[in-house]
Amino acid sequence: MEYHVKQRKQQQQSLIPLVFMMPSPGKGHLIPMIEFSKKLTKNYDIGVTIIIPSNNPPTEAETTMLRHINHIFLRPVPLSGLPSTTKIELLISHTIHQSLPSIRQTLHSITSSSRHRVTAFVVDLFGTEAFDIASEFNIPSYIFFTSTSMFLSFFFHLPQWKATQCESNGSTELVQIPGCVPIHIKDLADGLKDDEILNVIIQHAKRFKLAQGIIENSFLDLEPGTIKELQKVKPGRPPVYPVGPLVNMVNDQTKMHGNNNDNACLRWLNEQPRGSVLFVCFGSGGTLSSAQIDELALGLEMSEQRFLWVIKNPNDKDSSGSFFNVNNILNDPLNFLPKGFVERTKRKGLVVPNWAPQAQVLAHESIGGFLTHCGWNSILESVVNGVPLIAWPLYAEQKMNAVLITRDMKVGLRPEIGEDGLVEREEIGSVVKRLMEGEEGKKLRYRMKELKEAAIEVVGENGSSTKQIEELALKWKKV
C-alpha cells in the first residue's frame, strides 16, 4: 500500500506544474495577468491557463492579446436583467458570481484529464468567491492585485475604516492608510462611498486572509513606504509579492521611431520633434461628457502644444461608460469636437477615434507627456518609458492613484475641477503648458527618469521583482 501511494506521488510530481489564472472582466485586469503568465511560461517551465469570465463574446483585441497563452473564455454572463444604473464594481462582482458554475466545470474537466498537476489558482481582487472552488480541488489560492500597493493596504483596513466612519458620522476628512500619504475622503475610490458596493468590497477584503499569497503589480522604488508596511509579518495577512511592473515592454526600435508603418498615429509621431507630443487617452473604459470634450479640445488648442488624442463618443451619465459597452462605432467620435477644431489644430495635433496602440505610443521618442485617467496599467506603462503625467481620474480607484502620482511619487500634475464639475479650458491649457514647457515639467521628467531606471533594474536578471516571481515559481513547482 505504501509503495503505491509513493509511486502515485512520484507520478504526480513528474507532471508539469499548471497555474490557473482568472482575471475580472476588463482589459486592465487581463493585461497584467498575461504579462505575468509570459514570465512564468518562458523562464520557469510552468504551464498557465487563463480562464476568463465576461459579459460578451471575446473581442478581436482580446483574442489577439491571448494568442500565445493557453486560455478559456467562459460562457458569457448576460447583464440584461440588471438596472442600467448598476455600478461597475457590482457588474464585475455579478459576472464572477454567475460564472462560478462554469469555473467549477472547467477546473473539473482539466484536473481530471490533464497531463499537468494544478499547483495554484490565481484570481484578482474581485475573484475571491472562487476560493471555495479551488479548495474543493485542493488547489492553493492566490490573489493577483491589479492596482496600487496603496489600494491593497487600504483593503486590509476597510472594515476598521468603515467602523471609524460610522463612529464619526462620516466627519473624518483625512484617511491615513499605513505607509501612504494621507488621502482626503473625496479622493477615495468611488465605490467606497456607496454602501452596497462598499459591503461587496469588504466581503472580498475579508477573504484575502484565505489566500496563500498576494501578487502585487508594483515595486519597492515606486511605493517604498507602503510595500515595506505590507511586507511586515502580521497575523491574518498573507505574504505580499511585489512583482511589477508587469507591462507590455516595447523593443528599442519602436522606442526610437515607431516601426509600425501600418498605424497612422505612429507614422504621425515619426514626424514630430523628440519629446514634444502630449498623449491624451482615457483607457478602454473611460468616457467624457459632451461638455468636457469641448473644454478639453479648446484647452489643448489654447496650450499651443503638440498632442495625440484618442477620442471616444461622449457619455453624459457614466465616466466608465465604455467599460462594459462597446463604443458605438456607428457614430464618429470626431463629430463631437468643436466646429473647426481639427482644421485649426492639424499642424500640431492628431485626433484618432476609439483606439491607439498605447504601449507603442508611450515608448515613442516623440512623446513628452501623458494626460491619463490614472488607470494603474497606464501609470506603469508611463513609468517604464519615463513619461510624466497629467492626472485626470474618472472612476474606480483612479482618484487615489492621482494622489499617489502627484503627492507621493511626484511625477504628475492634476488640473483643478471648476464649480460646474468640469475641468475648464483655461485650466487645461495652463496644466498642459506647465508639463510640456515649464520648470515643473522638467522636475517631473527628471523624477520619472529615476523611476524608469529603477523599473528596468527590478525586472532584470537579479532584480527584486524577478526574485519574487522566482520564489513563487519554485513554490508552485514543489506543490
Q: Which residues contact 133 (CB under 8 A, 6 or more apart)?
A: 100, 103, 104, 107, 121
Are the C-beta atoms of 313 and 444 separated by less than 8 Å?
Answer: no
Instruction: Using a cut of 0.85, tell me whether the model's pTM lies above it.
Output: yes
Domain shared by 326 and 223, yes or no = no
The answer as to whether 223 is a domain residue is: yes
The answer as to whether 215 is a domain residue is: yes
Opening angle at CA 365, ends 360 and 366, nearest 5: 100
What mean pLDDT do residues 180-186 have?
Answer: 92
Domain shared by 435 and 307, yes or no = yes
The answer as to whether 10 is a domain residue is: no
Q: What is the pLDDT of residues 352-373, one digit of tens each?
A: 999 999 999 999 999 999 999 9
Residue by residue, DSSP assigns 350-366 as EEEES---HHHHHHSTT
Q: Which of 258, 266, 221, 246 is nearest to 459 (CA)?
A: 246
Domain shared by 426 and 473, yes or no = no
What mean pLDDT do residues 47-69 have?
Answer: 89
Domain shared by 100 and 226, yes or no = yes
pLDDT band with cut points at 50, 70 and 90 for residue 13 = low
Number of CB atoms found within 10 A of residue 373's CB: 25
The answer as to whether 9 is a domain residue is: no
Work out the percent of the chain whose per-residue pLDDT is above 90.
72
Q: What is the pLDDT of residues 105-120, one digit of tens each?
A: 999 998 887 677 899 9
Amino acid at 419: E
The answer as to whether 66 is a domain residue is: yes
Domain shared by 294 and 147, yes or no = no
Domain shared by 235 and 350, yes or no = no
Domain shared by 206 and 222, yes or no = yes
Q: Which run of H or of E encompasses 153? A: helix 149-156
How many distinct helices (H) and strands (E) make up the chain? 19, 15
Residue by residue, DSSP assigns 26-69 as SHHHHHHHHHHHHHHHHHS--EEEEEE--SSPPPHHHHHHTTTS
The answer as to whether 2 is a domain residue is: no
Q: What is the DSSP letter of 217?
A: S
Lowest mean pLDDT among 91-100, 205-214, 251-260, 294-303: 251-260
Q: Domain containing 102: what range?
A: 15-245+459-478
Strand partners of residue 20: 49, 121
Are the C-beta atoms of 63 and 34 separated by less than 8 Å?
Answer: no
Which positions are annotated as active-site residues? 29, 124
- pLDDT at position 7 is 42
Are the C-beta atoms of 349 and 324 separated by less than 8 Å?
Answer: no
Domain shared by 466 and 452, yes or no = no
Residue by residue, DSSP assigns 178-190 as TTS--EEGGGS-G
Residues 358, 359, 363, 364, CA torsion sign:
negative
Q: Which of 286, 347, 350 is nearest to 312 (CA)?
A: 286
Domain shared by 182 and 272, yes or no = no
Q: Which of 238, 215, 209 is nearest to 149 (CA)?
A: 215
Lowest mean pLDDT among 123-137, 150-164, 211-225: 150-164
- pLDDT at position 254 is 47
What mean pLDDT do residues 316-324 have?
Answer: 73
What mean pLDDT do residues 461-477 have?
Answer: 96
The answer as to whether 327 is a domain residue is: yes
Domain shared by 263 and 222, yes or no = no
Domain shared by 139 and 277, yes or no = no
For position 315, which CATH number holds?
A: 3.40.50.2000
Helix, strand or coil, per DSSP, at residue 311: strand
pLDDT band with cut points at 50, 70 and 90 for residue 15 = confident
Q: How many domains, the chain?
A: 2
C-alpha to C-alpha distance for 290 and 392, rounded to whole angstroms: 16
The answer as to whether 226 is a domain residue is: yes
Dihedral-angle region of residue 170 (phi above 0 means left; psi in -120 to 50 means alpha; beta otherwise): left
Domain shared by 21 and 128, yes or no = yes
